[in-house]
Amino acid sequence: MSAALANKVCLLAGTTGIAGASARLFAHEGASIVAIGRSADNAAELKAEIEGLGGRCIVHVEDLATPGAPDRAFAAALAAFGRVDVLFHVAGISGRKFGDGPLADCTDEGWDTVMDINLRAMMQLNRACIRRWLAAKQPGVILNMASVLGFSFVPEHFNTVAYAAAKGAIIAMSQHAAGTYAKEGIRINVIAPALVETPMAARATQNPDILALLQRKQPLTRAPLTDEDCALAALYLCSDAARAVTGIVLPVDGGWCVSG
Amino acid at 248: I
Question: Rounded to 5, what percent of the chain is helix, strand, coil?
Answer: 50, 15, 35
CA 30 to each of CA 3, 26, 73, 127, 222: distance values in angstroms, whole numbers, following the listed order: 6, 7, 22, 25, 33
Query: How do residues 77-120 score in pLDDT, each as one tens digit?
Result: 999 999 999 999 999 999 999 999 999 999 999 999 999 999 99
Q: Which domains does the chain have, with CATH numbers?
A: 9-196+229-253 (3.40.50.720)
Active site includes 163? yes
| CA distance linking residue 167 with residue 161, whole number of Å | 10
Quick one: angle between helices 161-181 and 121-136, nearest 10?
Answer: 10
pLDDT tens across 19-41, in order? Answer: 999 999 999 999 999 999 999 99
At 160 the pLDDT is 96
Please name which of 88, 72, 92 lies closest in space to residue 80, comparing C-alpha atoms.
72
**pLDDT for res 117:** 95
Tell me what pLDDT residue 229 has: 97
Closest CA relative to residue 24, chosen from 39, 5, 7, 38: 5
Pair 133, 139: CB distance under 8 Å: yes
Query: In the predicted model, what is the mean pLDDT of residues 46-59?
Result: 95
pLDDT band at 1 (very low <50, low <70, confident <90, very high): low
pLDDT at 15: 96
Computed over every residue of the chain, the mean pLDDT equals: 95
- pLDDT single digits (tens) 172-211: 999 999 999 999 999 999 999 999 998 888 888 899 999 9
In eight-state DSSP terms, residue 144 is: E
pLDDT band of 165, cuts 50, 70, 90: very high
Query: Of the residues 81, 163, 181, 256, which is catalytic?
Result: 163
* pLDDT (average), residues 222-233: 97
